[in-house]
Chain A
Amino acid sequence: MIYNIPYIAVVALIMIGLYAVVFKRNLIKIVIGILLIENGVNLFLITLAFRQDSIAPIYRGTGSRLMSLPVPHALTLTSIVIGVAVLALMLSLIIHIYRHYGTLDARKIGREEE
């Protein structure tokens, strides 16, 4: 049971994130929602890598012990880097949107006549 808690956390994070993206009107909150989904997915990858009683996958020469899988760690790192790029882009767009409309309410943005 104790090993299932991370998976429950993953589902909870993704669900909360999706809720924020779908129902929140504030653009910053939408971005937070996306970040929550991303963290959920990253946590899922990390959890997949873990084996009971395992150590970090670094050879230290003191006999062989069970190691956790290194590949998901690499994937998670890449995914975090990509996530930062996406976050920076979204926030810079939000700055532009705020300059144009003076609000971050999704209902009031992009409705003007041309």
Chain B
Amino acid sequence: MNIIDDIILHSPALIVAIPLLGAFLTPLISKINDKVRNVFVISIVLFTSAIVLLLANDIYSACGKIHTYVFGGTAAITEGGFAVRILFEVDGLNIFMAIITTILAISGVIYSWAFMKENTGLDKYYTLYLLMIAGMFGMILTGDMFNFFVFLEITSIASCALIAFWTSKGKAVDAGFKYIVISAIGALFILFAIAILYGQYNALNMAVLASNIQFSFLDKIALVILISGLAMKAGIVPMHMWLPDAYGRAPASVTLILVGVTQASLYGALRMIFTVYGGKLTTTINQIGDVNIDLNLLLGIFIVGLALVTIFIGVLMALKENNFKRMIAFAAVAEIGYIILAIGAALTTVFSATDPRTGIMALKGGIFHILNDALDIGLLFLVAGAIYYATKETSLNRLGGLARNMKYTTIFFLIGLLAVSGMPPMNGFASKLMIYESTYQVNPILSIIAILCSILLLAVFVKVFHSAFLGPKLPKFDNVKEVPKSMLLAMGIIACIIIFIGLFPDLVVNNIVQPAVNALTNNSNYINNVIGGI
């Protein structure tokens, strides 16, 4: 057995362990000097990414392959049928989220090199940064409910400290406090739901829970608490109030990872709904006349309602906002709305016996949009950070004429603008078109609202483009120079991926998104991989 096979075998543990180890080595390494530390952190992230890619290659090599890694043993179930071992279970959806995290982490650390250079306390910054990445990978890869909670808390503690990193600004500390309150309550809700499930089924393993779940009254309560806890973390209206503050006040390199954290919570919600409760989604809840109201229909309608409110509020608040980063943050709220709109629409139709194609299409669009949203919003935040770095201004009223001095940043912003508002040929167009198409078949009004809000989003960003980059040269910005190369490189990586996905959406949908959708719609694979023997 050669070393590559060994690494692949242990990859789920290594993906979490390497950034964790790196995090606590960083303070030691930074005693040497700053450059060595930066190179060390970047190499840790690159090494982790290489392992993620190896694992991804392994997962995609066979259709529906699942990599299960059990800590402290080989079998997931011990003798006597106790499912007490902690395990990581990686299927198409997990690896899809891990790839997103990888892209964000790489560009985040490269961007940090120049962006954070003038700050003190960078050893702590990088320690927390790697902790956040490790926690995120843990949340994404784990197959154990309690482990999910632990990694969720690791991520939220690290990210809260990073949001309040610029403690000299009162608003940053305020944003950090808001974030920790919301995420602590959200995490406790999740723990409560986990306790309810454990009390009934005596298991914490997602696959074992999914196979045993009875959908009793307590399970319904647990489902509601789980979804509301995860929705708090994902920033879905009406629990979105922490999000613009946290995104807006954190350093731009941190905001990039925060986008990933939000989506990891969204992944959690997907995993709970489609896998843990997957077998019971078609249970009939209520009967009106001859029509059966199934759980998936009820849940789908509820999620679609939340999604519409989320899109509306996000776009409208973005219209009136004057602070550059807060405005992008509201756009991020709206984008999350698009994802859950697609997921809600998929829930209503994907289990119908006659025609599941619409649902599959909506699910594909939603999952694809998770990737695109991370890239688009991430790029915009990096551009906003670059502008802050160059001018020390955040208010749009005091910006102008920057295109003359910062031409590369302008191009990147233009790419991000077109991508986020769903214009061809960027990646946002591909996924949004899938969402429009499928929601139109569910209900035309949904797609009309979605398209309208997308146009409004375009209007918002054209306004920003005009007020920040175009117009006469302002005398106070005479000395503004293009940002350092490492920031340009980070933005360039994301911009290239955006254009690549925009030009070849088929490639991505067929190779990466399709396995994720298969993993969601068919949870028996996930269950059998663990239960298997008995």
A, B co-complexed: yes
By a beta-carbon cutoff of 8 Å, the part of chain A in contact with chain B is: 14, 18, 21, 27, 30, 34, 37-38, 41, 44-45, 48, 71-72, 75, 78-79, 82, 85-86, 89-90, 93-94, 96-97, 100-101, 109-110, 112, 114
Considering only residues 174-203 of chain B, those with a C-beta below 8 Å from chain A are 174-177, 180-181, 184-185, 188, 191-192, 195, 198-199
* Cβ of B173 under 8 Å from chain A: yes
Q: In the complex, which residue of chain A has the Cβ closest to the Cβ of B196?
A: A44
> With A and B bound together, what is the CA distance between A37 and B190 in angstroms?
12
Q: Does B84 contact A (CB under 8 A)?
A: yes
Complex CA distance for A97 and B164, rounded to whole angstroms? 11
Cβ contact within 8 Å between B394 and A114: yes
Question: Which of A71, A82, A109 counts the most chain B CB atoms within 10 A?
Answer: A82
Q: How far is it, in angstroms, between the C-alpha of A100 and the C-alpha of B169 when the chains are bound? A: 8
- Residues in chain B near residue A109, CB distance under 8 A: 170, 174
- Smallest CB gap from A48: residue in B: B199
Q: Which of B401-444 contact A (CB under 8 A)?
A: none
Which residues of chain B are near A78, meaning CB under 8 Å?
A: 146, 150
Judging by beta carbons under 8 Å apart, are B177 and A71 in contact?
Answer: no
A41-B191, A93-B164, A97-B173 are known contacts. Are A48 and B198 too (CB-CB below 8 A)? yes
Are A48's CB and B195's CB within 8 A?
Answer: yes
Q: Which A-chain residue is minimally distant from B161 (CB atoms)?
A: A89
Q: Give which listed residue, A27, A37, A82, contacts B150 with CB less than 8 A.
A: A82
Q: Is the CB of B198 within 8 A of A72?
A: yes
Given contacts A27-B177, A37-B188, A101-B170, 10 further A-B contacts (CB under 8 A): A34-B185, A41-B188, A82-B150, A89-B161, A93-B173, A94-B177, A96-B164, A96-B167, A97-B174, A100-B173
What are 20 A-B contacts with C-beta separation under 8 Å?
A21-B185, A34-B181, A41-B188, A41-B191, A72-B195, A72-B198, A75-B146, A79-B191, A86-B157, A86-B180, A89-B161, A89-B180, A90-B177, A90-B184, A93-B164, A93-B173, A93-B180, A96-B164, A97-B177, A110-B171
Q: Is B153 an interface residue (CB 8 A)?
A: yes
A37→B153 CA distance, assembly (Å) = 15
Q: How far is the CB of A30 from chain B (nearest CB, A)?
A: 6
A45 contacts which chain B residues (CB < 8 A)?
191, 195
Across the interface, which residues of B come within 8 angstroms of A27, CB to CB? 177
A100 to B249 Cα, complex, angstroms: 15
Query: Which 7 A-B residue pairs are closest in the complex by CB-CB distance?
Result: A100-B170, A110-B174, A96-B173, A48-B199, A93-B177, A82-B153, A41-B192
Interface assignment of B160: CB less than 8 Å from any CB of chain A: yes
Judge if B52 is at the interface, Cβ distance under 8 Å.
Answer: no
The number of inter-chain residue pairs (CB within 8 angstroms) is: 84
| Nearest residue, chain A, Cβ from B147 | A78
Residues of chain B lying within 8 A (CB to CB) of residue A89: 157, 160-161, 180
Please state if B188 and A38 are interface contacts (CB–CB under 8 Å).
yes
Which residues in window 294-346 of B have CB below 8 A to A? Answer: 323
User: A93 near B176 (CB under 8 angstroms)?
Assistant: yes
Give the distance in Å from the alpha carbon of A30 to the alpha carbon of B174 in the complex.
14
B173 touches A30 (CB 8 A): no
Please name all residues of chain A whose beta carbon is closer than 8 Å to the beta carbon of B174 when the two chains form the complex.
97, 109-110
Residues of A close to B43: CB separation below 8 A: none
Give the Cβ gap from B139 to chain A, nearest Cβ, in Å.
14
Task: Please state if B192 and A14 are interface contacts (CB–CB under 8 Å).
Answer: yes
B76 close to chain A: CB less than 8 A? no
- Pair A34/B84 contact, Cβ less than 8 Å: no
CB neighbours (8 Å) of B176 from chain A are 93
Flag whether B231 is at the interface (Cβ < 8 A).
Answer: no
Chain B positions within 8 Å of A114 at CB level:
171, 323, 394-395
Cα distance A26–B198 in the bound complex, in angstroms: 35
Which residues of B186-235 have CB atoms within 8 Å of chain A's CB atoms? 188, 191-192, 195, 198-199, 204
Contacting pair A112 B395 (CB below 8 A): no
Give A94 to B84 CA distance when docked, in angstroms: 39
Point out the residue from B167, B170, B180, B245 that lies within 8 Å of A90, measured CB to CB: B180
Complex CA gap A4/B2 in Å reads 57
**In the assembled complex, how far is the CB of residue A114 from the closest CB belonging to chain B, in whole angstroms?**
7
- Which of the residues A30, A41, A71 comes within 8 Å of B204, measured between beta carbons? A71
Considering the chains assembled together, what is the distance between the CA atoms of A104 and B84 in angstroms?
44
Once the chains are docked, how many angstroms separate the CA of A112 from the CA of B173?
13
User: How many whole Å from B134's CB to the nearest CB in chain A?
Assistant: 15
Q: Nearest-CB distance from B203 to chain A (Å)?
A: 9
Which residues of chain B have C-beta atoms less than 8 A from A101's C-beta? Answer: 170
Contacts of A18 on B, CB cut-off 8 Å? 185
> In the complex, what residues of B have CB within 8 A of residue A85's CB?
153, 157
Chain B residue with Cβ nearest A78: B150
For A14, the chain B residues whose CB sits under 8 A away are 192
A21 cross-chain contacts in B, Cβ below 8 A = 181, 185
Q: How far is the CA of A38 from the CA of B180 in the complex (A)?
A: 14
Residues of B within 8 A of A48 (CB): 195, 198-199
Query: In whole angstroms, what is the CA distance A45 to B197 when docked?
Result: 11
Q: For residue B395, which residues in chain A have a CB less than 8 angstroms away from its CB?
A: 114
Chain A residues with CB below 8 A from B394, complex form: 114
